[in-house]
Structure 1
Amino acid sequence: MGAYNVRTLTYKNQTQVRFFKKPIEFDKKRVRANERKKKTEEERTQFDIDLSIRQSMRRTKDKIWNICLANDWEYFVTFTFNPKIVNSEDYDDCSAKMSKWLMNVKQICAPDLKYCLVPEFHSDKKKFHFHALMSNLGDIQLVDSGRRKNKGTKIIYNILNYRLGFSTAIPVNKDSDSQGKIVGYMLKYITKDLATLTQGKKRYWYTRTNCEKPVIDTYLIESDKLEDFTEALENDKSYRKTVSMPFSDNELKIYNFDTN
């Protein structure tokens, strides 16, 4: 049976180290997942349903974070929908139209387009729109909207090729701190409401052909040495947080280190 209590993820411009107070055992994770699958809909309690949604949200956020930080990006893009063209209150319609637009634009004018795209459920609890990080826009046409960001230093563009509604594209700084903040902004909208509405459906899109993934390694360190290990990293960290894992009676410490 395999186990680990330290997990490292190496991204484009940073490394993240995750320390678990108690080891994570691979076989136990599979057993718990299989036990949940065996329950019928009638047997599932509200606790089971809430736990499933939380875990699904965490997996979705982890995957988006991993993809976004493992790649370089040029623009942060927002896509909204014209209600005369797309039913912005219907997630399936929004997803289908957005997917088709991405497929068409890659085929016609940006064959090397790279993106990671996520939905946002409006605060009105009715409509959806999408956010994306993008690179390699090829012949996708950007036009100056006349608006500025960051005290006038950044042009806010519109995408002429996008005709499903309104769009903005803002240039992204290359440093890991700026890109990390944008990814954090995108993840903020992966909420319980969104996870509930999108159960069994896609919650993010990315180009599998040219999006890199982080390098992931796991280690098992003796528990009496684990605290000494984390203390030794304190001076070099760029970010740290502690996450309680009550459902598994565990605790996770996350450390980020800039590598550029």
Structure 2
Amino acid sequence: MGFVHHSRTAPRLENQGYLKEFPDYYELTIVNSVRESGWEEDNPFQKVSVPSDSKQRRNLQRAKNKIFEISYCNEWDWFFTGTLDQTKQSRDDLNRFRKRFSDWIRQMNHRGGDIQYLIIPELHADMTNWHCHGLLRGIPDNQIQTINGKTSWKRYADFFGFNDLQVIRNHEAVSKYLTKYITKSIDGDRGVTELNKNSYFHSQKLRMAELKKSGTCREVSSEVPIPSDTILFESDFARKYRFKKTDYSLNQLYNLFE
């Protein structure tokens, strides 16, 4: 059984780096200060009050990072927009739709399919009923129909309602679009804004970026200078960098860590 130290002020670790591998680049996030694992404050039962808007901001940033990671690390065929037909599915019951949709895909895959998905729900302008956007892969050809130049997923239409499919032609662009989209959606209170509720859902067997190394990062190395064009994000709390695999090796980036 592990044991927890107690101190009025938990020790902090400075310049903690997290190096992840994406399909064609490495991403390095450096956090200025994090609490050392295994430490808690003097009173472990005292709850710390966190303003809901502050927690929501952090949840949004985590959601954006994860949505980009999932979308970029996997191959997709279609950008999807799906609505709900009230005669087939309650339009205002997101939890039921999430479960029905996931179970429905699971049943088709159990019968030999390989449909993968990343879905982001959004409220209609009436702020009551839901529709969704997302990415899809593996829809069988016999389930896709094109009528008057509009392509849709026929089987989804049979079970849930009207939908639209658009071929993905730029993988990175659609990944960036989704992260901007969820920001706009939540800022307008039209996404999933409840605390502790995921603002997206996805297949279980999708690829994720691989964490290659973590630890104290010195950020300055003769082996790996960090030019300004590698900076993705910078704030008072953290910095994020992207290194193209064509320009940097993994061993070079390891030299950024102590």
| TM-score, normalization by structure 2 | 0.72
- CA 1:117–1:72 in structure 2 vs 1: closer, same or farther (change >3 Å)? same
Instruction: Give 1:104's match in structure 2, choosing from 107, 126, 136.
Output: 107
The answer to whether the 8 A contact 2:68-2:176 is kept is no
Instruction: Give 1:213's match in structure 2, choosing from 199, 208, 212.
Output: 208
Counterpart for residue 125 of structure 1: 127
Using the TM superposition, give the Cα deviation of residue 177 of structure 1 relative to its aligned residue in structure 2, in angstroms.
2.9
Q: Percent identical across equivalent pairs?
A: 17
State the alpha-carbon separation in 1 of the partners of residues 146 and 36 from structure 2.
Answer: 51
Instruction: Give 2:23's match in structure 1, choosing from 12, 35, 42.
Output: 12
1:47-68 Cα distance to aligned partner (Å, 9 max, x none)? 5322232223333332222222
Q: Which has the larger radius of gyration?
A: 2
The answer to whether the 8 A contact 1:8-1:17 is kept is yes
1:203-226 Cα distance to aligned partner (Å, 9 max, x none)? 3222223x1110123242237x38
State the alpha-carbon separation in 2 of the partners of residues 16 and 145 from structure 1.
Answer: 42
Counterpart for residue 161 of structure 1: 155
Q: Structure 1, unaligned stretches of length 5 or more?
A: 148-155, 245-249
The answer to whether the 8 A contact 2:122-2:192 is kept is no
Using the TM superposition, give the Cα deviation of residue 189 of structure 1 relative to its aligned residue in structure 2, in angstroms.
5.1
Alignment of 1:223-242 (within 5 A): 225=220, 232-235=226-229, 237=230, 240-242=232-234
SS at match of 2:56: helix
State the alpha-carbon separation in 2 of the partners of residues 115 and 19 from structure 1.
Answer: 31
Using the TM superposition, give the Cα deviation of residue 165 of structure 1 relative to its aligned residue in structure 2, in angstroms.
0.8
State the alpha-carbon separation in 2 of the partners of residues 208 and 11 from structure 1.
Answer: 18
- CA 1:69–1:229 in structure 2 vs 1: closer, same or farther (change >3 Å)? farther
Instruction: Give 2:183's match in structure 1, choosing from 181, 184, 188.
Output: 188
Counterpart for residue 152 of structure 1: none
Counterpart for residue 150 of structure 1: none
Using the TM superposition, give the Cα deviation of residue 140 of structure 1 relative to its aligned residue in structure 2, in angstroms.
5.5
Counterpart for residue 62 of structure 1: 65
CA RMSD after TM alignment: 3.4
1:16-66 Cα distance to aligned partner (Å, 9 max, x none)? 22233x2334428x748x96x843xxx84xx53222322233333322222
Using the TM superposition, give the Cα deviation of residue 259 of structure 1 relative to its aligned residue in structure 2, in angstroms.
4.3
The answer to whether the 8 A contact 2:79-2:165 is kept is yes
SS at match of 2:133: strand
SS at match of 2:232: strand
State the alpha-carbon separation in 1 of the partners of residues 193 and 40 from structure 2.
Answer: 24
The answer to whether the 8 A contact 1:73-1:134 is kept is yes
| TM-score, normalization by structure 1 | 0.71
The answer to whether the 8 A contact 2:92-2:130 is kept is yes
Letter in 2 for 1:178: A
Using the TM superposition, give the Cα deviation of residue 82 of structure 1 relative to its aligned residue in structure 2, in angstroms.
0.9
Alignment of 1:7-156 (within 5 A): 7-20=18-31, 22-27=32-37, 31=40, 38-39=46-47, 44=49, 48-108=51-111, 111-138=113-140, 141-147=143-149, 156=150
Q: How many residues align?
A: 229
- CA 1:79–1:231 in structure 2 vs 1: closer, same or farther (change >3 Å)? same
The answer to whether the 8 A contact 2:30-2:217 is kept is no
If each structure's helix is expressed as a fraction of its own residues, which one has the higher value? 1
